[in-house]
């Protein structure tokens, strides 16, 4: 039984069993209120699934890519929930959850997943298809780019069918994790995928005040 | 829940310190702090995004370390406390998200509290310290000075009645230290560097302005502070010397600048005590580490017959123990836990002790 949390777009929380059945899922598309809603969504999902934390076998965190401020809330919540419940933390790349959803819905072959990175940029991940277990096989990315880069003829993944997602489902994230556990596939690195350095400029020294 | 001596874990992420504290009532069990200060040094000040990223990485190790030091299990806790504000929004959100998850995972109540009031609550944790058995008396004036805030409070009761008397209208005092350190070519953080540079300097060598101290300012901003004019005045003074090809007497500039800051802070704090008939002053915030501030505070309060309280310095800088201590006081006073819907409020007013 897995608790899954993703805040790479809105906030989504789910409880998924080891066979990938979603027992509860609660989400909001609001991209500004991650810290406000995350606690209640976790509590609601556990209640709806009829579980307490002790019944979980792991906590899945969506590692992004996603806009930083929101992304961090879910990763912090998932890591600390895992610590509090003494269960392993299972990091999954958020785009894998979107790709999983497409393949489950019948898509086959190559796929480009695109999400909003704000500041007039997008995050992208390229997939070559799904493996025998149904898990999406990421061939490149995640990356961040100006939208017109993706539209350029000469871009490496320009020919892939493209899917733009506005939300990431924690249910799908949890199902990816459940399948990975079942197949014995490794998880992603436990690091937030910001894909951008913090914007800071190194000071050139104090400015003159007198003229 | 143990309401007499509650075991509380506090999470503080309002600025650049990831603080995890564990207290049992007023007994400090752990004050674990991971600071990202070194990462900010090359930028000359706290960079919010750098601070927030560091919080995310430090939280879990800091909780582990605090629990180990306190010799408890997380399941033993009576409650979780967390800073809801004021502070840097993105940094606060990391702590808020984590604290809620921990509370739900453990099935424990959560108390979302005010960072500034937490600084006052730090004074309750005095195990082994001087005056350990003299409880904090009310009302008290509190002067909180750090790189993020400069506030003067009237505390009638820690858990129910705190009023803002005044605050900085521009830079925080700690920021002024950082900026003047840069003007003098000294590294970040500026407080300890200015202190070091001021050794042997004459604090009366240069009369730098005391912000908001003229009669018309005092009418409007009696208990408010301003440090940006002081910083500009130091910069202009230094530039004039440089333009004239003279050497800048760094020790005198540092000592005179520090004296201007410390003087105005204590003039206004003591005035508040006198005006309001409150013979108690409590200091808090990272700038309290400044030895000259503490020395002048002793001098001025003694002269005015005011009792001075300074929490241990390790509890003056931002920390999770003070947040846990305030949470414990709320529990002891019978306050209900916060509901899970609270957020991070970067401008949370000091009168909102619990969110
Ligand atoms: Zn502070």
Separation of B354 CA from ligand 1 center, angstroms? 16
Give the domain range for residue A46: 2-183
Residue A123 placed within a domain: yes
Give the side-chain half-sphere CA count within 13 A for B108. Answer: 30
User: The CATH number of the domain where A144 resides is what?
Assistant: 3.30.420.40
Domains in chain B with CATH codes: 7-132+315-333 (3.30.420.40), 140-311 (3.30.420.40)
Give the count of domains, chain A: 1
Where does the pLDDT of residue A208 fall: very low under 50, low under 70, confident under 90, or very high at 90 and above? confident
Annotated binding site of B: 115, 119, 144-148, 178, 191, 195, 290, 318
Give the pair of three-digit tokens for residue B180: 């003047």
Give the side-chain half-sphere CA count within 13 A for B64. Answer: 10
Average pLDDT over residues A116-131: 96
CA dist., res. A73 & res. A59, Å (int): 14
Q: Which positions in chain A touch B52 (Cβ < 8 Å)?
A: 68-69, 72
Question: How much is the ipTM here?
Answer: 0.96
Handedness of CA A170, A173, A177, A179 (dihedral sign): positive
pLDDT value, residue B341:
97
- Asked if B182 and A203 come within 8 Å (Cβ–Cβ), the reply is yes
Residue A45 placed within a domain: yes
pLDDT value, residue B131:
58
pLDDT value, residue B165:
98
Residue A205 placed within a domain: no
Give the pair of three-digit tokens for residue B73: 């299990």
A100: pLDDT strictly greater than 80: yes
- Asked if B93 and A69 come within 8 Å (Cβ–Cβ), the reply is yes
Residue with tokens 């969504």: A41
pLDDT tens, A3-43?
Answer: 999 999 999 999 999 999 999 999 999 999 999 999 999 99
pLDDT value, residue B130:
58
Residue A111 placed within a domain: yes
Give the side-chain half-sphere CA count within 13 A for A18. Answer: 9
Mode of pairing for the β-strands spanning B307-309 and B280-284: parallel
Separation of B324 CA from ligand 1 center, angstroms? 14
- Asked if A81 and B50 come within 8 Å (Cβ–Cβ), the reply is no
- Asked if B49 and A72 come within 8 Å (Cβ–Cβ), the reply is no
- Asked if A36 and B342 come within 8 Å (Cβ–Cβ), the reply is yes
The distance of B100 to chain A (nearest Cα, Å) reads 5
Mode of pairing for the β-strands spanning A89-92 and A111-116: unpaired
Residue A160 placed within a domain: yes
The distance of B140 to chain A (nearest Cα, Å) reads 33
- Asked if A68 and B100 come within 8 Å (Cβ–Cβ), the reply is no
pTM over 0.80: yes
Within 8 A by CB and 6+ apart from A145, the residues are A121, A122, A124
**Sheet strands (E) in chain A:** 2-6, 11-16, 22-28, 58-62, 89-92, 111-116, 122-130, 136-145, 162-164
Residue A87 placed within a domain: yes
Which residue from A33, A79, A203 is facing B44, i.e. has the nearest CB? A203
pLDDT value, residue B45:
85
In three-state secondary structure terms, A208 is coil
Interface A-B: count of C-beta contacts within 8 A? 138
Residue A15 placed within a domain: yes
pLDDT of chain B, 355 residues: tens digit per residue: 888 999 999 999 999 999 999 999 999 999 999 988 888 888 888 999 999 999 999 999 999 999 999 999 999 999 999 999 999 999 999 999 999 999 999 999 999 999 999 999 999 997 756 556 678 899 999 999 999 999 999 999 999 999 999 999 999 999 999 999 999 999 999 999 999 999 999 999 999 999 999 999 998 999 999 999 999 999 999 999 999 999 999 999 999 999 999 999 999 999 999 999 999 999 999 999 999 999 999 999 999 999 999 999 999 999 999 999 999 999 999 999 999 999 999 999 999 999 9
Q: Which positions in chain A touch B234 (Cβ < 8 Å)?
A: none
pLDDT tens, A137-189?
Answer: 999 999 999 999 999 999 999 999 999 999 999 999 999 999 999 999 999 99
* Helix then strand then coil, % of chain A, to nearest 5: 30, 25, 40
In three-state secondary structure terms, B344 is coil
A202: pLDDT strictly greater than 70: no
Angle between helices B89-106 and A34-49 (to 10 degrees): 20
pLDDT value, residue B2:
87
Residue A211 placed within a domain: no
């Amino acid at each position: 039984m897995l608790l899954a949390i993703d805040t790479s777009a809105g906030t989504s929380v789910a409880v998924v069993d080891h066979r990938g059945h979603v027992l509860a899922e609660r989400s909001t598309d609001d991209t500004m209120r991650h810290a406000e809603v995350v606690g209640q969504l976790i509590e609601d999902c556990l209640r709806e699934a009829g579980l307490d934390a002790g019944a979980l076998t792991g906590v899945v965190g969506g590692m992004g890519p996603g806009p930083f401020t929101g992304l961090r809330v879910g990763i912090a919540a998932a890591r600390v929930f895992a610590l509090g419940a003494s269960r392993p933390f299972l990091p999954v790349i958020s785009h894998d959850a979107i790709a999983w959803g497409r393949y489950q819905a019948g898509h086959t072959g190559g796929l480009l997943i695109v999400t909003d990175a704000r500041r007039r940029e997008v995050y992208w991940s390229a997939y070559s298809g799904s493996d025998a277990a149904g898990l999406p096989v990421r061939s490149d990315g995640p990356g961040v780019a100006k939208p017109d880069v993706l539209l350029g003829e000469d871009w490496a993944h320009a020919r892939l069918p493209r899917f733009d997602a506005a939300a990431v489902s924690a249910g799908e994230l949890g199902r990816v994790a459940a399948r990975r556990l079942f197949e014995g596939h490794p998880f992603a690195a436990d690091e937030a995928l910001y894909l951008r350095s913090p914007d800071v400029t190194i000071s050139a020294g104090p400015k003159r005040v007198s003229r | 829940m143990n309401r007499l001596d509650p075991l509380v874990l506090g999470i503080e992420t309002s600025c650049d310190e990831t603080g995890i504290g564990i207290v049992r009532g007023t007994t400090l069990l752990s004050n674990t702090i991971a600071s990202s200060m070194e990462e900010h040094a090359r930028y000359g000040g706290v960079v919010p995004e750098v601070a927030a990223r560091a919080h995310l990485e430090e939280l879990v190790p800091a909780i582990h370390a605090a629990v180990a030091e306190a010799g408890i299990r997380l399941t033993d806790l009576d409650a979780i406390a967390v800073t809801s504000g004021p502070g840097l929004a993105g940094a606060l959100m990391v702590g808020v998200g984590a604290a809620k998850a921990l509370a739900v995972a453990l099935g424990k109540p959560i108390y979302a509290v005010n960072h500034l009031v937490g600084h006052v609550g730090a004074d309750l944790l005095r195990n082994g310290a001087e005056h350990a058995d003299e409880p904090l008396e009310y009302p008290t004036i509190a002067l909180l000075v750090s790189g993020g805030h400069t506030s003067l409070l009237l505390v009638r009761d820690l858990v129910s009645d705190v009023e803002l008397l005044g605050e900085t209208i521009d830079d925080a005092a700690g920021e002024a230290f950082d900026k003047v350190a840069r003007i003098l070519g000294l590294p970040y953080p500026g407080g300890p560097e200015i202190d070091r540079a001021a050794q042997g300097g004459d604090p009366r060598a240069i009369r730098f302005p005391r912000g908001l101290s003229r009669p018309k300012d005092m009418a409007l901003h009696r208990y408010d502070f301003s440090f940006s004019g002081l910083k500009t005045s130091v910069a202009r003074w230094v530039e004039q010397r440089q333009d004239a090809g003279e050497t800048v007497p760094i020790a005198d500039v540092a000592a005179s600048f520090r004296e201007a800051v410390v003087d105005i802070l204590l003039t206004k704090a003591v005035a508040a005590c006198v005006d309001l008939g409150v013979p108690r002053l409590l200091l808090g915030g990272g700038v309290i580490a400044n030895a000259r501030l503490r020395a002048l505070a002793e001098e001025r309060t003694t002269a005015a017959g005011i009792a001075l309280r300074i929490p241990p310095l390790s509890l003056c800088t931002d920390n999770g123990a003070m947040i846990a201590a305030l949470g414990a006081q709320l529990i002891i006073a019978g306050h209900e836990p916060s509901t899970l819907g609270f957020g991070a409020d970067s401008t949370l007013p000091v009168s909102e002790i619990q969110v």
